[in-house]
Chain A
Amino acid sequence: MTGEDNAAAALLSISGLTKRYGSTTVVDGLALDVAEGEFVSLLGPSGCGKTTTLQMIGGFVRPDGGRIRLGGRDLIATPTSKRGLGMVFQSYALFPHMTAAANVAYGLEVRRTPRGEIAGRVARALDLVGLSAYGDRYPRRMSGGQQQRVALARALVIEPRVLLLDEPLSNLDANLREEMQTELRRIQHRTGTTTVLVTHDQSEAMALSDRIVVMRGGRIEQADTPERVYGRPGNRFVAQFLGKTNLFAARIADGRVSLGDTGWQAPAGAPDGPVTLAVRPEKVRLSQTGLPGRVGERTFQGGRWLVEMDTAHGLVLMETPNYGPPPPREGETVRIGWQDGDLHLLFEGAPA
């Protein structure tokens, strides 16, 4: 998906966005369009510029160049308080001297919403996040998950054009995080609010987003649906950042991808020459033919096994469901392979 064919429907439109701190360019000419109702995640390692990008959209950091437009309006020239965006901060930033209900009501009071209307909207917002009974609580007496929900209600109650989420789940423990992911997705579907999420957690990005924007060094590496970013990564960085992946230095000749003695059907139109072959661990299967390998470590993970195998082409990771026959034992020699459709080619030189 390119900028142009999305531009007509874009609610939030960013182009050439740049931020420098001293001699370091943190965000480097970033361009991104977000459609109305879309849930977009900015994903990348720390220092990739994702948080700075969000802060520039929110109005907390001044860009050095580029444009941010919201529904055709120039956002950079608009003060933070007039942007009408909802933001959930990593630290939640709840006002500690106000109850949950007062926190949620704050944005409405600032807007001079009529008193009678405020009570109803606050109640609905708290109900949306499942905290109807907690309106009188002070943030300090709430758990991390509850504080998170209050922060979400506070950001949503002002009916923002865009909801900005800055690593909102990173302070929660693993179980709660999964629960909140589902919750967040449910709430976003119900309200239909256009959402931009910043995260370094790839599973969070995949679980929540309509589109994932993978960033590195202030630039976009790939922006696509979670399925495509995972299944068809554009380059080695994306392939390795999202989930585990096996990379091999292979060759294409005469319409076949070959790795040692083994070969697969090459996709149509793939040019001859060296290529990097990427296969996800869950696509690797035991087979009669294929690459010979010796089983190294195997790790039981409940629902699945992770099996490491030593092959002539390096270490191969295989993921197999905890179902059917158990995986081979350590030290056994087996053959592994995958289907033609399950391999993915990266044209950017041989792997290191």
Chain B
Amino acid sequence: MSRRNGPWALIFHTLFVVFMLAPILVVCVIAFTPEGYLSMPTDGLSLRWFRALWNNPDFVSSFRVSLALGAASASAAAAVSIPAAIAITRCDFPGRGAFLALCMSPLMVPSIVLGVAFLRFFSQIGLSGTLVGLTLSHVILIVPYVLRTIMNSLGSLDAALNNASASLGAARWHTFRRITLPLILPGVASGWILAFITSFDEVTMTIFLAAPETTTLPVRLMLYIEDSIDPLVAAVSTVLIVMALAVMILIDRLFGLDRILTGAPDRDGKP
């Protein structure tokens, strides 16, 4: 670990970071242009497009829809995934492998196929265009992310902890509440965040399912770009980037970002 990076490695890393960050930076700068078209702000900065965004009821409501959808589906996915992960990692039941494959399958099915399938299915059972239907489809789409991180945390727990708790007289539910859940909480949290981001970001499937009143932010952006490209889009992007950054900093302060993103088990008392 103590080996220093050579010049080539440094150049590579610099290029990589610049390549990743430059477009984001450019978008953020463009958002402050006073002009009516996409341009670098050469003669002064302006909040014109942020005002325009604030005054655009479509974007504001889409933003609300996306937030609610992301939070609801991530929470529902976590609620389903915890028992599923426990069953898969701790119990040996017939069809366990098939069950796991089924839970993970949304990762492999193209989103566009899911979109078409859900559209057909929801219109048949009368859920098409509803927020409930949209949430349901997102839950299925993001379960693999939550399930995976929770299974990782469970896998790193000593199985004897359960036995220890039982031998001390705790019933199963008590053990889950006092021992298992607190210890897998970082995994659940990281799964929740991943799931929220995935849901918030999802376009391909959602575009099939969203009705005018349930249009999510990314879908709204896409629809908007179809007939006009102006700095409003950049303003939306900037708001999202700043929010993501703020959340990451908050999480890092509260829990430590590394631990959350890797879903490592709780390491209380570590020096």
Asked if A and B are interacting partners, one says yes
B270 touches A140 (CB 8 A): yes
B167 touches A91 (CB 8 A): no
B266 touches A107 (CB 8 A): no
Q: Which residue of A is nearest B174, CB measured?
A: A110
Instruction: Give min CB distance, A138 to chain B, whole Å.
Output: 2
Q: Which residue of A is nearest B169, CB measured?
A: A110
Q: Which of B163, B168, B266, B267 contacts A154 (CB 8 A)?
A: B168
Given A95-B179, A97-B266, A141-B271, verify A106-B160 contact (CB < 8 Å): no
B211 interface residue (CB < 8 Å to A): no
Which residues of chain B are within 8 angstroms of A60 by Cβ–Cβ distance? Answer: 163, 166
Q: Which of B170, B174, B268 contacts A140 (CB 8 A)?
A: B268
Q: Mark A147-183, 1 if CB is under 8 A from B, else 0.
A: 0000000110010000010000000000000000000
B269 touches A93 (CB 8 A): no
B183 interface residue (CB < 8 Å to A): yes
Instruction: Give min CB distance, A59 to chain B, whole Å.
Output: 7
A58 touches B163 (CB 8 A): yes
A-B contact pairs, 5 of them (CB 8 A): A83-B167, A96-B266, A96-B267, A96-B269, A154-B168
Within 8 A of B (CB), among A93-125: 93-97, 99, 106-107, 110-111
The number of residues on chain A lying at the interface, defined by a beta carbon within 8 Å of a beta carbon of chain B, is: 34
Q: Which of B158, B169, B182, B271 contacts A111 (CB 8 A)?
A: B169
Which residues of chain B are within 8 angstroms of A87 by Cβ–Cβ distance? Answer: 163-164, 167
Which residues of chain A are within 8 angstroms of B171 by Cβ–Cβ distance? Answer: 81
B269 touches A140 (CB 8 A): yes
Name which of B166, B178, B266 has the most chain A CB atoms within 10 A of its CB: B166
Within 8 A of B (CB), among A267-301: none
Q: Which of B160, B163, B166, B182 contacts A97 (CB 8 A)?
A: B182
Which residues of chain B are within 8 angstroms of A89 by Cβ–Cβ distance? Answer: 160, 163-164
Given A80-B163, A96-B266, A139-B269, verify A106-B158 contact (CB < 8 Å): no
B204 interface residue (CB < 8 Å to A): no
For the complex, what is the distance from the CA of A89 to the CA of B160, rounded to whole Å?
7
Instruction: Give min CB distance, A95 to chain B, whole Å.
Output: 6
Q: Which residue of A is nearest B157, CB measured?
A: A96
Which residues of chain A are within 8 angstroms of B169 by Cβ–Cβ distance? Answer: 81-82, 84, 107, 110-111, 158
B165 interface residue (CB < 8 Å to A): yes
The number of residues on chain B lying at the interface, defined by a beta carbon within 8 Å of a beta carbon of chain A, is: 24
For the complex, what is the distance from the CA of A85 to the CA of B167, rounded to whole Å?
6
B26 interface residue (CB < 8 Å to A): no
Q: Mark B167-190, 1 if CB is under 8 A from A, else 0.
A: 111110010001100110000000
Q: Which residue of B is nearest A98, CB measured?
A: B268
Q: Which residue of A is nearest B163, CB measured?
A: A60
For the complex, what is the distance from the CA of A110 to the CA of B161, rounded to whole Å?
15
B164 touches A140 (CB 8 A): no
B271 touches A97 (CB 8 A): no
Q: Which of B178, B183, B265, B271 contacts A106 (CB 8 A)?
A: B178
Instruction: Give min CB distance, A185 to chain B, whole Å.
Output: 22
What residues make up the interface of A, taking CB atoms closer than 8 Å to B? 58-60, 79-87, 89-91, 93-97, 99, 106-107, 110-111, 137-141, 154-155, 158, 164
Given A58-B163, A91-B160, A111-B169, verify A140-B267 contact (CB < 8 Å): yes
Which residues of chain B are within 8 angstroms of A138 by Cβ–Cβ distance? Answer: 268-270
A59 touches B166 (CB 8 A): yes
Given A138-B269, A140-B267, verify A93-B161 contact (CB < 8 Å): yes
A59 touches B165 (CB 8 A): no
Given A91-B160, A110-B174, verify A97-B167 contact (CB < 8 Å): no
A141 touches B161 (CB 8 A): no
A96 touches B268 (CB 8 A): yes
Q: Which of A85, A95, A155 contacts B161 (CB 8 A)?
A: A95
Which residues of chain A are within 8 angstroms of B165 by Cβ–Cβ distance? Answer: 95, 106
A59 touches B167 (CB 8 A): yes
A158 touches B271 (CB 8 A): no
For the complex, what is the distance from the CA of A298 to the CA of B115, rounded to whole Å?
80
Name which of A90, A95, A141 has the most chain B CB atoms within 10 A of its CB: A95
For the complex, what is the distance from the CA of A90 to the CA of B160, rounded to whole Å?
9
Within 8 A of A (CB), among B249-271: 265-271
Given A93-B161, A95-B161, A95-B179, verify A110-B168 contact (CB < 8 Å): yes
Q: Which of A110, A111, A137, A154 contacts B269 (CB 8 A)?
A: A137
Q: Which residue of B is nearest A109, CB measured?
A: B178
Q: Which residue of A is nearest B265, CB measured?
A: A96
Instruction: Give min CB distance, B166 to chain A, whole Å.
Output: 4
The 8 closest A-B pairs by CB, nearest first: A138-B269, A107-B168, A93-B160, A93-B164, A80-B166, A87-B167, A110-B169, A89-B160
Instruction: Give min CB distance, B26 to chain A, whole Å.
Output: 45
Which residues of chain B are within 8 angstroms of A80 by Cβ–Cβ distance? Answer: 163, 166-167
For the complex, what is the distance from the CA of A91 to the CA of B269, rounded to whole Å?
18
Which residues of chain A are within 8 angstroms of B170 by Cβ–Cβ distance? Answer: 81, 106, 110
Instruction: Give min CB distance, B5 to chain A, whole Å.
Output: 32
For the complex, what is the distance from the CA of A164 to the CA of B168, rounded to whole Å?
12
Beyond the given pairs A110-B170, A110-B174, 17 more chain A to chain B contacts, judged by CB atoms under 8 angstroms and listed by A's residue number, are A60-B166, A80-B166, A81-B168, A85-B167, A94-B164, A96-B266, A96-B267, A97-B266, A106-B165, A106-B170, A107-B169, A111-B169, A137-B269, A138-B269, A141-B269, A141-B271, A154-B164
Q: Mark B148-166, 1 if CB is under 8 A from A, else 0.
A: 0000000000101101111
Given A97-B266, A137-B269, A138-B269, verify A158-B160 contact (CB < 8 Å): no
For the complex, what is the distance from the CA of A83 to the CA of B182, rounded to whole Å?
26
Instruction: Give min CB distance, B178 to chain A, whole Å.
Output: 7
